[in-house]
Chain A
Amino acid sequence: MKSAAASEPVLIGQPSDAELGDQLLAPVWTRLPRGFYIIMAIAGLLSLLLLALVTWTIWTGIGLWGNDIPVAWAFAIINFVWWIGIGHAGTFISAILLLLEQRWRTSINRFAEAMTLFAVVQAGMFPVLHLGRPWFLYWLFPYPAVMKVWPNFKSALPWDAAAVTTYATVSLLFWYLGLVPDLAALRDRAPGRVRRIVYGVFALGWRGSARHFQRYRIAYGLLAGLATPLVISVHSIVSADFAITQLPGWHSTIFPPYFVAGAIFSGFAMVLTLMIPVRKLYGVGNVVTMRHVENVCKMTLATGWVVIYSYACEFYLAWYGGETSEMYTMFHGWTTGPNAWVFWLSIACNMLVPQLFWSKRVRNNQWLVWVMSLAINVGMWSERFSIIVLSLQRDYLPSSWHGYRPTMVDWGILAGTIGLFTFLFMVFLRFVPFIPVQDMKELAAELRGSRASGTADDRKESA
């Protein structure tokens, strides 16, 4: 990488294994500042709000939301697509960058994966919750029913159910497998008996033997291989929920790649949102360096351009197709119809904001990057709102057109998932090392090795 030459290294200093171990395991033992617990408490309260609202919704019916006919899908599906999209960057970092042997991924892959996992938890809630009769969710799965009724495989929703459950399973396994050596390290260093037992149980008897490492490597590689196509397939399938319909604004073959790009785009933004405060809070700037921040910014910029290209395609194809209703939906419904400001918000956040990442000065200004990452998250949520709500608002028969207004329950559930996500993420920060210790030691060893062999490029990476 050309620009890498001018950037910070992926690891600052030449820490020994013991130093690395002490530094990276410390967050699990040390007392954290009060602010941490206050934020965690707020997130916890939001999670309780989520619980209450979900209970109320299941008890009463989704009429509590703002959905109507024609806008039969709204916040639930927006949130679903948004959260699952966010998850994609985690998998991208941990699986695809692993296979591509990108060293800079090492220090951020653990919490990117955790982000994936917790985002999938939020996302997974919505397909259940948005059902009119959520207690029959299992009908979406092919199970040996007495009545011999199968799901309708022509519909994208059973694929969706399969894709999301697969994704959740693989993400969990991948994340947990990577965690095993560090759990063993925690077990070995835990001050109390209880913690030793708990970590010991989760460490699954890891002793760090060469055989363990050999099998671990194989399993980790296999899971990375499994997870890689999921990055592409899951969001492609999610996009099929829209693309297989004939609704103007949804009926588009560009959707699968467009959605995948959007997902990774929003996921990288979320990585930035989480990474910047965490490296500040824990003082791990030597391990998660500005090089990481910059690289993620660049990835965001790159995927952002794919998204821009997709927008252009979408509008161009609507125009080129010449279908009256579709042209109206895209060129009038989205741009000037009810809630059109959300569309313009998504354009501003997704097309304009990332362009600042061209500037190295911006990329190196952590707080600006952080604010921008929030804007991109908002923008990507708005993009899903535009696709789903703005299209449904204006379909074929003007007689049935109607606007959409979310209720407080809609907002509450969205806020609740953000709260639960934050809460789970902070629990994760508190109880397991969020930077893979064992992998970092390996990276440090590799860097030492390459210094010895004198590769110029590598020397720079660890200078």
Chain B
Amino acid sequence: MNPFPIQDDLRELAELAGPHGVDLAALGGRIRRRRRTRLAVASGAAMALLATGGWLLPGLLAGGSGGPVGPAGEVTVRPAPSGSSDAALGKLDPEARQVVELLERVLPAGKVSVLGARGLHDKGLASPLGSGLFEPSAAVEYDDGHGEALVDVDLSRWSNPDTTKSPFTCAVGQGEPKPNGCRTVRLPGGGVFNLSRTDALQGAWNAVWTGTYAAPDGARVVIQEDNAPSDKGAAATRPQPPFDFAQLQRMATSPAWKTQLAAIPAAGGQSRDTNTPFGPDGIGAIFYRLIPSGFTTSGYNGAFQPVQGNTMVLTDSRGKGSVYSTELVGAANTPAGLAAFRKDYPNAVRLPNGDWLGSKQVAGQGGPGTEQYWVAVQRGNTRIEVVALNSVGPTGPRTRATPVLTIDQLTMIVESPTWGSGG
């Protein structure tokens, strides 16, 4: 019996939504009005079918309307290719293709169809463990003649692995689900290999086995295999995933990964320190780590908002002040996005590397003497913006003579490569 039938429960729950209640006449009126307005304001803009990147923080802080002034549009995401291996490989960029080729090299003989891949410098969005950069991965459908199976690999580097946790041990932390099976072996040279096994439960989910090789230098290879060609919605094609412990260990510890792993910089590696004050918030953690030394920090907020932003209060001998950061990924490099950036930062300059950098000093909203420093960079389709105040919160009274970080310090933060290279 499935003790926690999420899907069924969600469907039952959804029924509580009731009928849709759409008034077509009223809705049509709204659409026509909006179309007229849009035509009057702009023409030829990118399809605004998807969410507009709103910059409520800047709007509020600057005393503006708070309305969306950011770029509109859709993040360009490369769809996972499918089909024959050769055809799919051809659609991948060279770095992603390298990862697939390495996976194919370590796989035992069998038919391989590429499902997708991410190269060393492909930028994903930040995760709790890193900025989204330097996380090469590949997923394939593998068939050794006994049934198709999903196999995928992730490569990463952990800057400071916690050896009390998986994969170094089979300890299960509080609140963490217990796998059906787990085994860790110490390898010559100091690395470990761990297999964590979740077995199939008929009618609920397929088997998922995860092999992790953690090298002494923090490099990590994770290979995951299913007993089905997809991890969702596909019937099991075989009783168990294709590879046993020894095979997974051999694949994960293969020297074939060496070059890729070596190319993952330690500075861009994943941190075990997900316990920054922002919790599991990649962007918050990045921001936190970029704060110059000499401050004590408090007043953290914005956890679980890894895309949008975070705030905290910095304190030094001259007083305290709030800082904010936001990151918007998506379409910042469209004409509309650039226009919005230059509107927000009339003094914006184009840097030699093609980025745009802007800054401004504006009066605060907290009364006499309050002031705000703003710096933003537009890099590819990513816009990063940081703000420093000489007050706690945008409407608080002045708590120090000048904002807690200088324009130069803010500039160093936004220009940090740890934010990634954009989309």
A and B form one complex: no
A: residues with CB less than 8 A from B are: none
B: residues with CB less than 8 A from A are: none
